[in-house]
């Protein structure tokens, strides 16, 4: 799905934007938010016997990977939405 949105028919842009929005929402709910919550919880524990530096590092790595994935989806979605806006403005002569 790395092709340029402007090279895709308008109706297909709507479908792809909808798919990306759903994918982003699911990723945020199922991956990113639980990982940031786990990181916050671990960071509040001040006892190294309960939460090691390695565990904090692992949770931080998991969060940054999830955030990078979310950013990638967001960038694709934004490109499709901007392309849809430009095409509809062109069609409607705005």
Average pLDDT of the chain to the nearest whole number: 94
94: CB partners within 8 A, 6+ apart: 88
Asked if residue 21 lies in contact with residue 77, where contact means CB atoms within 8 angstroms, the answer is yes
| Domain range enclosing 22 | 5-92
- Per the listing, tokens 């929402």 go with 25
73: CB partners within 8 A, 6+ apart: 20, 23, 24, 27
Rounded mean pLDDT of 41-65? 92
With vertex at residue 80, the alpha carbon angle to CA 79 and CA 85, rounded to the nearest 5 degrees, is 100
Tally of domains in the chain: 1
Q: CA-to-CA distance for 32 and 69, rounded, in angstroms?
A: 9
Rounded mean pLDDT of 60-66? 97
pLDDT tens, residue by residue, 37-49: 999 999 998 888 8
pLDDT, residue 5, reads 95
| pTM given for the model | 0.86
Rounded mean pLDDT of 21-32? 98
pLDDT, residue 47, reads 87
* Residue 50, both tokens: 């309960």
């Amino acid at each position: 799905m790395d092709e340029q949105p402007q090279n895709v028919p308008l109706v297909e842009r709507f479908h792809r934007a909808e798919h990306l929005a759903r994918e982003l929402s699911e990723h945020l709910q199922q991956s990113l938010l639980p990982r940031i919550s786990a990181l916050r919880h671990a960071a509040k524990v001040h006892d190294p016997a309960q939460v090691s530096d390695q565990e904090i590092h692992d949770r931080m790595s998991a969060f940054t990977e999830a955030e990078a994935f979310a950013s990638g989806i967001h960038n694709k979605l934004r490109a499709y939405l901007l392309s849809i806006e430009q095409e509809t403005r062109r069609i409607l002569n705005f």
